[in-house]
Chain A
Amino acid sequence: MLRYIVGRIGQSLVLLFLVSIIGYFVLLLAPGGPMSQFALTPGISKQDLDRIAEQMGLNRPIIVQYADWLWHLLQGDWGASFRDNRPVLTVILDHLPATLLLMGSATAIAMTLGVWIGIMGAIRRYSIFDYAATVGAMIALSVPTFWFGLIAIYVFSLNLGWFPAGNMYTIGSGSVGDVLWHLVLPASVLALVDVAIWSRYMRTATLDVINQDFIKTARAKGLSARRVLFKHVVGNALLPMITLAGLQVPALLGGALVTETVFTWPGMGRLFLDSLGYNDYPVVMGLLMFSAVLVLIGNLLADLISAFVDPRIRLA
């Protein structure tokens, strides 16, 4: 087991290395640069911009810059933001809670709804409910998240006035209730895709379990259908569910980015777009690496749990 874990971590590090190379070279080989945005600043000249670029070491060969960046990263130094010179890690960690809150709430909504829809669909297989859930899931997977967000704002914010159209809290308030009130729309929008995925998954998982002998035995022993289902089905599906949650991390991060944009949610997605707009390479790279680490941890946990549950995998 230990060897397996060490091996997987090793592989993950190689992956991170690849990710960093791809990301860094894409960013730095592209035309333009962090100085471009200042071109039209009154009173600033091209010489000033060229000089500052040189002082910041931006005109060194890209391979040297990369090596420098990597060397610092290996020592735990993620660099400093071009925008405010704060350490990249601090900047990211500042934005992390908002994103985690959004992703966490969305996952909670998605799991609750998805599990329920999935189980109901499986029990009433081929019913109208099942069919509607299937079609609904397919459509949910096809709606662009941002568009769903726009429509949600249009209906629930602009027309009905139930929820705010954006932001994380009212200025000056920021109470828990206030944040929750702001959270409803973005979290629901982000949850949509996951509800679909969870419900499909739970439907299959439930069907698998229903046909197994021990369930039939349990039913035969007179346990109520509902109790059997929720105890055994959910119990049995729980570990694979965590696996799935792990595998959902990249999609969720991507979804969060778009949702944060539509709802002006102050999380990592917004930070990414802002930093991209400012050509803030250190932060963009930091976010790429950070999200890659999150994804790898998600995958690793998913695999470890599978391996833990299913000993055969260890042999692979």
Chain B
Amino acid sequence: MATDKTTLFPEISRRKALGLMAATGAGLAVPALIGRGSALAAAPDKPTGQLIVGFSQEPTVFNPHLLHIEVDEGVHFAIFDPLFNVDPDGKFTPALAAEVPTVENGGISADGLNWKIKLRDGVKWHDGQPFTAEDVKFTLDLMVEPDFRSWRRAGHDLVRDIKVVSPTEITWRMEKTYAPYPSILASTFIVPKHALGEAADKNTAPFNNAPIGTGAFKWGKRVAGDHIELLANADYFGEGPYLERVIIKYIPDLNVLYTQFKSGDIDITGLQWITPDHYEEAKGLADREVQLVAGSTVESFTLNMGKPQFKDPAVRAALYHAIDKQAIIDALYYGLPTPTETYMPQQSFYYNPDLPKHEFSLEKAKAVLDGAGWVAGGDGVRAKDGVKLAFTCSTTAGNHIREQAQQFIQQSFKDIGVEMTISNLPPAVMWGDYWMTSQFDSVIVGIDFLTGPDPDTSDYFASTSSVATGGAGQNTWQYHSSEVDKLLQEGGNSLVPDERKASYMKLQEVVRNDLPLLPLFQYTTVRGRKKGLMGFTPNVNNRIDTWNVGTWYWEG
């Protein structure tokens, strides 16, 4: 394909975009294989060379159990290990655990209540101390310690009677079956008891700014506001590390991030990667590999069903018809994202591909509204029973492309007699009570609905998860359906994926039909790296590219 560099605004057709996706999808498998097995011979015998990763946000929280943002996990994954990891297919692979506990191998009891984990022997912390089951116990206890500002207690608060059977074996009991717990454990990094346990205040312990882990890389140093240096851990128990040094460079501007990738100042673009408008140019760069990678975030136009305008299913269906998804994807996002009908990432084992396809048609939208009795008033805005089809739409101020999509949707809605007023807010205001207590009318938002690979979305869809109606969770669209509750219950009762699948397939169907949120697309990110960097493996189940940086190396 000839790349005309002067064509700044390529019209990427849907088919072409899908083709690209398919092509990269196929290409995905190759580096995955290389990174994990066959090509090991090509990896250097001892750590050599350095890697510079560019992030557009600055990692600042190095204790993985304190409240942090996704970019911090770039450091966590390099320094620490969980008991087991999640691979790109959503399967668990052992890390500090000698074997992934399952119902089949007896690690978890059939009712999901009793857990027994065998740990890897001979693992050492970066400071030379041996890793033992005491550290695992310490970590699990820490998560629920009253004074510790643990970022997440869900699941951990159900753990009881932790017993250290031997230095390499630990058991516990769960208060009740909690299906997402394996996924939560896969992102629960084990921290050393000897280094953190003695601290008077674990929230401010020195450890938090000079972490000690078991991971492939050791903490080097941090130059605040600029970069973090990680050094190879020669004693690492797993595969790798093959790199002598990893430098995480903070570049607070995506344009500059791209420029530095282009000039070769950074070896790989991390979060937030290459902006869609640069994709066409990036593809043509010499000695660079540019790859489209599906993210797990799903963009949707969410409706607050607590508001009278949105109680009528016809309104929700009509609005969905009125959104020209494809135009938004093609023109504003340069054809990169994949249209979707569900909140579930398409790479998930639980993804339902057979949902009804969205059809953009202003005529249909009008017909649906006419049929439901919403008639236009003198001002051209439809109304029914004294309820005007007028509402506000909010999103985070400063997200330019999304703001453009919002204004585009506003115009389409106007055409069908719906008045949408834009009311964007600074992030701090937007995601505070305004969002949590359902004060909004409608919101455009990108949400990663899953916890790692786990399909449980009770926090977003259970009737008891709306703060506005006295619940706890993020069912901020106030979508209350007994059928959904039942399906969530069913799916959450088992720890065996094949048993759970049916519930979640059905759940997606119900949500697609009820449309509490109008699904727009699943994000596709443009990730670039220098040619010759091996081991890079996109993983939709982790939030960070460097999740397996220990196995990366330079070719030749």
Contacts and interface: CB of A to CB of B under 8 A. Distances in A.
The reply to whether A and B meet directly (CB within 8 Å) is: yes
Interface of A: 30-48, 51-52, 55-56, 80-81, 83-86, 91, 94-95, 165-167, 170-172, 264, 266, 270-271, 274, 277, 279
The binding surface of chain A is classed by DSSP as loop
Nearest to B266: A171
Interface string B132-159: 0000000000000001111111100000
Contact of A166 (B147, B227, B256): B256
B259 A165 contact: yes
A27 to B, nearest CB: 10
A272 B336 CA distance: 34
A86 B209 contact: yes
B225 A271 contact: yes
B253 interface: yes
B428 A33 contact: yes
A36 B448 contact: no
Given A40-B431, A44-B151, A274 B252 contact: yes
B310 interface: no
Contacts of B259: 165
Given A32-B427, A55-B147, A166-B253, 9 more contacts: A41-B69, A48-B153, A51-B153, A84-B60, A85-B208, A85-B209, A91-B224, A94-B225, A95-B225
B355 interface: no
B261 to A, nearest CB: 11
B432 A31 contact: yes
A95 B226 CA distance: 10
B551 to A, nearest CB: 24
A52 B151 contact: yes
A266 B225 contact: yes
Contacts of B433: 31-32
B447 interface: yes
Contacts, number: 145
Nearest to A273: B252
Given A42-B450, A47-B472, A56-B149, A33 B432 contact: yes
Across chains A and B, which 9 residue pairs bring their CB atoms closest together, nearest first?
A84-B60, A32-B428, A32-B432, A39-B431, A43-B451, A36-B431, A32-B429, A36-B432, A42-B448
Contacts of A81: 60
A264 B252 contact: yes
Contacts of B427: 32, 36-37, 277
Given A47-B472, A85-B204, A91-B224, A264 B256 contact: yes
Contacts of B375: none
A46 B429 contact: no
Contact of B474 (A34, A46, A80, A94): A46
9 contacts: A32-B428, A32-B434, A33-B432, A39-B432, A43-B187, A46-B473, A171-B249, A171-B265, A171-B266
Contacts of A95: 225
B166 to A, nearest CB: 31
A37 B208 contact: no
Contact of A44 (B149, B152, B543): B152
Nearest to A265: B252
Contacts of A32: 426-434
A36 B427 CA distance: 7
A84 B209 contact: yes
A43 B152 contact: yes
A36 B474 contact: no
B459 interface: yes
Contacts of B451: 42-43
A31 B434 contact: yes
Contacts of B429: 30-32, 36
B505 interface: no
Contacts of B58: 274
B204 A46 contact: no
A30 B445 CA distance: 23
B203 interface: yes
A83 B224 CA distance: 12
Contacts of A36: 427-432, 435
A250 B148 CA distance: 40
Contacts of B227: 171
B332 interface: no
B145 to A, nearest CB: 10
Given A32-B432, A48-B152, A85-B209, A172 B265 contact: yes
A35 B149 CA distance: 12
Contacts of B147: 55
Contacts of B164: none
B275 interface: no
B32 interface: no
A80 B201 CA distance: 14
B424 to A, nearest CB: 14
B52 interface: yes
Interface string B444-456: 0111111110000
A80 B61 CA distance: 13
A35 B70 CA distance: 15
A38 B436 contact: no
B153 to A, nearest CB: 6
A167 B256 contact: yes
Contacts of B203: 55, 85
